[in-house]
Amino acid sequence: MVTLTTDVLVIGGGATGAGVAWDASLRGLDVVLVDRLDLAEGTSGRFHGLLHSGGRYVVKDPLAARECIGENRILRRVAADSIEDTGGVFVTTPFDDPAYADRFAAGCKETGVDCEEIPVAVALREEPRINSEITRAFRVPDANIDVWKTVGSLARGAQQRGARILTYHEVTAIHRDGDGVTGARVHDVRGGEELDIEARVTVNASGAWAGRIADLAGIEGVRVLPGRGIMIAMNHRLVNTVVNRCQMPTDGDIIVPIRTVSVVGTTDKHTDDPDDHTVLQSEVDAMLDEGEKLVPGFRQARALRVWTGVRPLFEDAKESETETRDVTRAHALLDHQQRDGVSGFVTITGGKLTTFRLMAEQTVDAVCKALGVEQSCKTASEPLPGSESGQNYKLGERLGRKEQNLRDEQVICECELVARAKLEQAIRSTGSTNLDDIRRQLRLGMGPCQGGFCIYRAAGIMHELDGLSAGQADSSILAFLQERWKGVWPVLYGDQLRQMRFDEWIFHGVLDVDHLPISANTANGELPDSVGSPDGAIPAAGSAT
C-alpha cells in the first residue's frame, strides 16, 4: 500500500477545505487535501451564489452578520475575479411587517453592515420588475460569487505551492495512536486502490459530514444538523441586483442574479442525511409563489432547474435545539486536544460560504499552534490566482472575448459560450472523464437546454482526446443526463417542458441513449442502474408531459 506523509491532511474539498489548503500552503506547510468526490461538489457548490453583506442576519444572528460583512470586504480584494458587484437591496413588500424595517436599519448600524435607505422610486427605477407596492428600500453591499471558480483558484494556488489535491478519494478510516490522530486511510474511488496518509495534524473540513468523520476518529458529540434547502434557477435575469425581503429570514425571500440566470432561495428543512437531495413538489410550488411576492409575474418566467444544498449547522450536543432556522450561521472550530483530549485533530464546520476564508484562517492558526509553527496568515492580502488585477467579473465577459475571434474558434456550448479550446484544456488539465466535473469548471451544459446540444459534442471530443472507448464516452453521457434530469423534472412546465421534449427527441430519437453500448468504467467508479427521472429512467418518447 502506498503511504503519503504530510504536515496537514485536509478532509473536504469545499470552500473551507480548499481555503485551509491555500492558507496552510501560504504559511509553508506541506498539505494533502482529499475529497470523496470533485471539488465543491457538496454544500459549497449547492447554494444560490450570494456573497453576503450580512444584512440577512443583522437582527437574528448579529455574530454571523459581523463575520459576513468583514469577509465580504476582504473577498472583494483577494477573489475579485470570482465576484460580480451587483449590489443588494432589502425591500418591504405588502407581505412583510413594516415595523421590521427600523429594526433592520438599527441592526445594520450595530453590526457594521453598510446600509443606506433609498427612496422607493429609486429602487423601482433601478429594478423595475420588483413589486411596485414596496414601501421601503435599503441598499447593502451584497454581490454574487462563482463558487467553482473560487474553489478552483484556491486549489490551484495551493498546488502551485506544493499541495497535493486528491479528488475522488474517500476517507474510510481515521488512524489513531493512543490519544492522537495520525492520519487516515482513503479509497481511490476511480482507481480502486487504498492509500494511507500520515499527517501531523488532520483537519476535518467536511461540512455537513463532519460528524461522520469525527465518528471515524472515535470522537463523540460533534453534532451537525443538516439543513436541506432547495433553490430554483430561472433562465434569465429577472433582476440585476440581489433583492431581499426586509423581514426575518424565511423561505423564498431572496432572488440572486448570477451569471445569466436568477436564483430564488431557499427553504430550510432538517434532515438526518447530509446526502438527502429530496425535492418535494410542494416546496417547488411554494418557492415559485414566494418569488411572485418579490417579482410579480415570476411564475410565468421559465424555470430552468431546481437543486438542493445541505447546510452544515453546528450545535453543541449538550443543547436541545433542533429547528435549523434557529441555529446560528456562525462557524465552530473544535480543537479536539482541548475538547476531547485527542491530539492532531481539528474540526471546522458551520459558517457561510462568505466566511470560508476566516474559517480557514482560524483553523490554520490552530494547526500551527499544534505544530509549534509561528507563521502569520496571508490570505487577507494575497490574491487568488486569476484575481491579481483586482478587477471584478463583468457580465458579458465571455461574449466579449468570443466576439473577438468569431471565425477562429468553434463554440461547443452556445448557452455558456464554451469554446472548443477551453473544453480541451479543461479535459487535459483535470484528467477527468466525468462530464459533470467539466461542467463545474466551465459551466458546460448549464444553460436553457441543460446539455441538450453540447454534451454529445463534448463526449465526442473527450473520446478523441483521451482515447476513451465508445462505451466509456457513452457512459459519461448517460451519467451526465441522469444528474441533469434530477434537477429538471420537478420544474417542467411551459417553455422548459418544450425544451426538454426537444432534448428527448435528440437523445432518444437520434442517439437512442437507452441502447448505447456502455462501459462500467465511468468517471466516478460506477454506472447508474438507469438514467434520469424519480423512478429511474428518462421518459420514453411521447411521455415527457
Q: Which residues pair with 186 in a beta bridge?
A: 171, 195
- For 352-489, strand residue ranges (E) read 411-413, 418-419
Taking the C-alpha atoms of residue 148 and residue 386, their distance in angstroms, rounded to an integer, is 13
Taking the C-alpha atoms of residue 273 and residue 386, their distance in angstroms, rounded to an integer, is 36
Residue 40, C-beta contacts closer than 8 angstroms, at least 6 positions apart: 13, 14, 15, 18, 147, 148, 151, 152, 440
From 70, 115, 128, select the one nearest 88 (Cα to Cα): 115
- Fill in the amino acid letter for 334: L
pLDDT (tens place) for every residue of the chain, 545 residues total: 899 999 999 999 999 999 999 999 999 999 999 999 999 999 999 999 999 999 999 999 999 999 999 999 999 999 999 999 999 999 999 999 999 999 999 999 999 999 999 999 999 999 999 999 999 999 999 999 999 999 999 999 999 999 999 999 999 999 999 999 999 999 999 889 999 999 999 999 999 999 999 999 999 889 888 889 999 999 889 999 999 999 999 999 999 999 889 999 888 888 889 999 999 999 999 999 999 999 999 999 999 999 999 988 887 654 444 444 444 557 889 999 999 999 999 999 988 999 999 999 999 999 999 999 999 999 999 999 999 999 999 887 777 777 777 667 889 998 888 999 999 999 988 888 889 999 999 999 988 888 999 999 999 999 988 777 888 888 899 999 988 888 998 998 888 888 888 998 899 888 888 888 876 544 343 333 333 333 333 333 333 32
Q: Which domains does the chain have, with CATH numbers?
A: 2-43+148-224+318-371 (3.50.50.60), 79-142+226-310 (3.30.9.10), 397-515 (no CATH)
Taking the C-alpha atoms of residue 298 and residue 350, their distance in angstroms, rounded to an integer, is 32
Long-range interactions of 173-179: CB distance < 8 A, separation 24+: 173/216, 174/202, 174/213, 174/216, 174/217, 174/218, 174/345, 176/217, 176/218, 176/342, 179/341, 179/342, 179/343
From 26, 35, 43, select the one nearest 154 (Cα to Cα): 26
Whole-number Cα distances in Å, 22 to 19, 106, 385: 5, 37, 11
Q: What is the DSSP string of 241-273?
A: SEEEESSSS-TT-EEEEETTEEEEE---EE-S-
Backbone angles phi, psi at 521, to 5 degrees: -85, 70
From 43, 61, 385, select the one nearest 208 (Cα to Cα): 43
CB 228 within 8 Å of CB 208: no
From 434, 332, 350, select the one nearest 41 (Cα to Cα): 434
Q: Which residues pair with 183 in a beta bridge?
A: 175, 198
pTM beyond 0.85, yes or no? yes
